[in-house]
Structure 1
Amino acid sequence: MNFSSLFGWLHDNQALMAMLHDHWSWGICLVALILFLETGLVVLPFLPGDSLLFAVGAFMGISGIPPFWYMVMLFAAAVVGDYVNYSIGRSPLGQTLVRKGWVKQNHIEKTHAYFEKYGGSTITLARFIPIVRTIAPFLAGLSGMDRRHFALYNVLGGFLWIFLLVMAGYFLGRITWVQENLSLFTLGIVIISVLPMAWHVFKLWKESRQEKPAGK
């Protein structure tokens, strides 16, 4: 089995559903690991957490699998991942990653803009925004955010992210049209997730253009 076939399910919901059907126990553990890596390692912001959660919820809904205990496992993976990322940001390794360019500067700037606007609640809001959710806990640690405040926003954000996306998949995945167009539907979820970040970046770009004449 080659690398592409082994991990093709990451971006192919039909392949993910087939993998979960054939190997449910280790498949759900693998999904939890992917969530941990996406939220826990600042260098892996490209992993598809949103679509995986929705597809897993859809599979449980179609298969009649009670979702509660599996959501607890996914929730734990997401919360521990964010805490690891935060801890890396607080450590000397965090400064090294930034200095060496392992973390893209434009990703840092986008996430920093969210911190400026929303403060600590960015940790909760970021859960629903690809890339930002990976960079936010790292920046929180890098900036020295209080551990207790971070823990509060981390747990709240992790709960909302897991619960809303898994339960959306659990109930909507039973609809025939959604089953037949699962990849298209999850793509729509990802696009909706990205819209707040795109809108905020557009506003920052527009404001910077308006400020340029005044600075001359």
Structure 2
Amino acid sequence: MDAGAENLNAIAAWAVSLMETLGGVGAGVAIALENLFPPLPSEIILPLAGFTAAKGTLGLAEVLIWTTVGSVVGALALYGIGAWLGRRRMYAIAQRMPLIKIEDVERTEAWFERHGSKAVFFGRMIPIFRSLISIPAGIERMPLIRFTLLTAAGSAIWNTIFVLAGFYLGANWHIVEDYAGIFQKVVIAAVVVAFVVWLVIRVRQLRRNRITVD
């Protein structure tokens, strides 16, 4: 058995134990922790919760409600971190980071002001971003009620897809993780490519500026 399979089995065993001990609340706790610690993959926890519901251990509606509650709780915690960080600290950090310009932060803020609601809603259905999007929402102090409702709506869609997949696949629930893993790798690859393109452009800009000064 390779390391990936061992990790999957360990996470699955932990999630099952939590749900057996706490019921639907356990599924919610697992998803709340997944928001705070992305290495805990919802792509495993949610289908497994659906499989548990299929066995009759938990009710399907119970699982859907508690996992959505867990998503909102975890997102609110990250929103709080963003609010604590605030714009002043964010700008102070940006000023100390190499290759980062204040104009970059200002453009990002302007983008979030225009598209923040869509980013929070659709971000809940994109691996990695589904957790991280809460932090800029907190930094920009998106109205808490709007943030909570958008988070609940986006999370409910994401959770329902994976929970129902596990519910109907039964003992083959782990197949979901394979396909979700492909999606996650595509997202990571896109982020890496975007970062490399940005880095190349920024380095070229710095070189041109130095030549102009000289």
TM-score category, normalised to shorter length: 0.5 to 0.7
Tell me the alpha carbon deviations over residues 68-125 of structure 1, each in whole angstroms, 9 at most, x when there is no partner: 122111111111221232123112589779989xxxxxxxx9xx69959953322222
Please list the CA deviations of residues 2-61 of structure 1 after superposition, one character each: whole Å capped at 9, or x if unmatched.
xxxxxxx9943487369738962426433321211232x4xx232222211112112322
Q: Does the CA-based 8 Å contact 1:89-1:95 persist in structure 2?
A: no
Cα distance between partner residues in 2 of 1:117 and 1:205: 26
Verify: 1:50 aligned to 2:47, yes or no.
Answer: no
In 2, distance between residues paired with 1:33 and 1:120? 25
Partner Cα separation in structure 1 for residue 119 and residue 22 of structure 2: 32
Match of 1:146 in 2: 143
Equivalence for 2:72? 79
| TM-score (norm: length of structure 2) | 0.66
Contact 1:53–1:162 (CA under 8 A) maintained in structure 2: yes
Q: Residue 132 of structure 1 corresponds to which residue in structure 2?
A: 129
Q: Identity over aligned residues, as a percent?
A: 21
- Per-residue deviation, 1:170: 1.0
Residue 60 (structure 2) aligns with:
67
Indicate conservation of the 8 Å contact 1:89/1:142, yes or no: yes
Pair 38,65 (structure 1): closer, same or farther in 2 beyond 3 Å: closer
Q: C-alpha separation between the residues in 2 aligned to 1:95 and 1:168?
A: 44
Q: Match for 1:120 among 99, 117, 123?
A: 117
Q: What code does the residue aligned with 2:123 have?
A: A
Instruction: Tell whether the 8 Å contact from 1:120 to 1:153 is kept in structure 2 after alignment.
Output: yes
- The answer to whether the 8 A contact 1:13-1:55 is kept is no
Match of 2:180 among 185, 189, 197: 189
Supply the RMSD in Å over aligned alpha carbons.
Answer: 4.1
Cα separation, 2, equivalents of 1:37 and 1:22: 12
Aligned match of 2:193: 202
Question: Stretches of 4+ moved more than 6 A in 1?
Answer: 93-100
Structure 1 CA distance, aligned partners of 2:86 and 2:6? Answer: 29
Alignment size in residue pairs: 190
Q: Note the 1:11-22 alignment, pairs <5 A.
A: 11-13=7-9, 16=12, 20=16
- The structure that has the greater radius of gyration is 2
| Partner AA of 1:198 in structure 2 | A
Distance 1:168 1:116, change over 3 A: farther
Instruction: Please give the secondary structure, in 2, of the residue aligned with 1:59.
Output: helix
Partners of 1:37 and 1:23 lie apart in 2 by 14
In 1, Cα distance between equivalents of 2:137 and 2:121: 12
**Counterparts of 2:91 and 2:45 in 1: how far apart (Å)?**
29
TM-score for the superposition, normalised by structure 1: 0.66
